Structure 1
């Protein structure tokens, strides 16, 4: 199990790598509407629309979106379209809930 400090570092990396453009592209890859992503990531439609419009949202919202897409096997790197990770069934072995985030809202 990673330490709290390590979780914080990993979350900061995820926040840096995941962009609004990635969100739109990832939804398209999965065939998900904003409404479906809202249900899947447990994030409001308004938050997703604000993020995709490149407006500020809470870090917890960005992490929820990132982790939900990563659970579908997507990976994100700055300047590149989302790709499929090595574990196509899902990059994360278990679902990540908001309570497991190291950062606070």
Structure 2
């Protein structure tokens, strides 16, 4: 079990890596509307709009959004579009073997 200090560090990393642009890109990759992301992440539509327009949003809301996308197999790195994890459940085996798999939508 991770310590509270380790959890705090991991949360800080997730907050640094996940940007407002990532949020909009990830929604597009999954075909999710703001309303659907709101339901999936348990975050208000207003918080999502504020985050995507680079306004202040509580860290808890940002983490909930980022973790919900990560649960869908998306990964985030500053300066890059979201990618898909190679451990995504339900991914077609022929897709995972492709060299551009992380770039596939």
TM-score range, shorter chain: 0.7 to 0.9
Q: Does 1:81 align with 2:81?
A: yes
Any stretches of 5+ residues in structure 1 without a counterpart? 91-105
Q: What residue is the counterpart of 1:98 in the other structure? A: none
2: CA distance between counterparts of 1:85 and 1:7? Answer: 21
Aligned length: 90
Measure how far apart 1:11 and its partner are. Answer: 0.3
Q: Which has the higher contact order (CA 8 A, sep 6+)?
A: 1
The residue number in structure 1 matching 2:12 is 12
Q: TM-score, normalised by structure 2?
A: 0.84
Once the two structures are TM-superposed, the CA of residue 89 in structure 1 deviates from its matched residue by 2.1
Q: Secondary structure at the match of 1:13?
A: helix
CA distance in 2, matches of 1:86, 1:61: 26
Q: Does 1:43 align with 2:43?
A: yes
For 1:78, what is the secondary structure of its paired residue? coil
TM-score by length of 1: 0.84
